[in-house]
Amino acid sequence: MSEQVHYSELGLANTREMFSKAVDGGYAIPAYNFNNLEQLQAIITACAESNSPVIIQVSKGARDYANATMLRYMAMGAVKMAREMGSDIPICLHLDHGDSFETCKACVDNGFSSVMIDGSHLSYDENVALTKKVVEYAHQFDVTVEGELGVLAGIEDDVQAEESTYTKPEEVEDFVSKTGVDSLAISIGTSHGAYKFKAGEAVPPLRFDILDEIEKRIPGFPIVLHGASSVVQDYVTLINQYGGKMEGAVGVPEEQLRRAAKSSVCKINIDSDGRLVVTAKVREYLANNPGEFDPRKYLGAARKELMALLKHKNETVLGSAGKG
């Protein structure tokens, strides 16, 4: 068992001040998932150069893949990298979709500055009890906690659901009060993965009526949107052009996300777009350079493209650029 490490020792920040500023400023903090070094380098470079606060987040599956100790040092390295670039942006290390108290506790003990406990698949009372237990432990170490009400359709690592269940506005006050969570993920029409909607059909608008009602009931409380990748069609086309099979991949329109970011939605999760960019550029590079076997070449090309996309997200979609 590794020794307990507090996130402040790694130079990380929790989300409390980040979210307060975002709600007041009408923008959302980018929460970018990463699975390897190149993705993390792209995230930090893009956010440092666009002066955007950032949440670097890992799913339970990514944590298992990378090794908990390695992740801790990668996060510390990310902070040092930003500082060496002359940037003092706040950086939070967040557990995405923690599925148990034990997983959340392990992340708190390993230097995460924020954790999500996803009890949305449980009954309401079970969700409240589990979320409260995580909050009581995490808050001892000033680690912020995200809970979830409502279920998103789609697939993300071990998180799967065939249909969405919209968040019930009448439950949010009670849930926040009983659990003590610092932010709340809601379901208003986004979904996990790259196949969010049916290809060829009009993308249904997000349920801003539900969001508006939630804002009335818990004014100023930090709201989170999961499953908010736009599934940029240029990259889907590139993947298919170079041997992939991603027919019918459709995401959330960027203009809807920008509207959400101007509300109390102060954290927007983006994972699939990062995966698509990396896969597209790796496929393209290897197809055009069949004799190449140096991972730095094809992963370097992917890193460069991902950095450009994330800058675009910060500047145009989330409104977080210049807010670091």
Q: Is residue 2 part of a domain?
A: no
Q: Whole-prediction pTM value? A: 0.93
Give the pLDDT confidence of 97-117 residue by residue, as tens digits: 999 999 999 999 999 999 999
Q: What is the pLDDT of residues 169-207, one digit of tens each?
A: 999 999 999 999 999 999 887 755 554 445 555 567 889
Task: Please give the residue range of the domain that contains residue 152.
Answer: 7-318
Q: Report the CATH number that the domain containing residue 265 is assigned in CATH.
A: 3.20.20.70
Tell me what the pLDDT averaged over the chain comes to: 91
Residue 230 confidence (pLDDT): 85
The pairs formed by 134-141 with CB atoms below 8 angstroms and a separation of 24 or more are: 134/98, 134/101, 134/104, 134/105, 135/179, 135/180, 135/181, 136/180, 137/101, 137/104, 137/105, 137/108, 138/104, 138/108, 139/180, 141/6, 141/7, 141/108
Three-state DSSP at 289 gives: coil
Q: Is residue 323 domain-resident?
A: no
Structure confidence at residue 161 (pLDDT): 44
Residue 37 lies in a domain: yes
Please report whether residue 255 resides in a domain.
yes
Residue 1 domain flag: no
Predicted pLDDT of residue 155: 46
User: What pairs with residue 5 in β-bridges?
Assistant: 110
- Residues known to be catalytic: 96
- Segment 55-81 shows an average pLDDT of 92
User: Is residue 270 situated within a structural domain?
Assistant: yes
Q: Rounded CA gap, 247 and 323, in Å? A: 37
What confidence tens digit (pLDDT) does each residue in 73-104 have? 999 999 999 999 999 999 999 999 999 999 99
Residue 43 has a pLDDT of 98
Q: What angle do CA 206, 154, 217 make, to 5 degrees?
A: 40
The lowest-confidence range among 147-161, 164-178, 209-223, 272-286 is: 147-161
Residue with the larger pLDDT of the pair 60 and 127: 127
Within a domain: 233: yes
* pLDDT on residue 196: 46
Number of Cβ atoms within 10 Å of the Cβ of 245: 6
Q: Count structural domains, the chain.
A: 1
Residue-level pLDDT at 193: 52
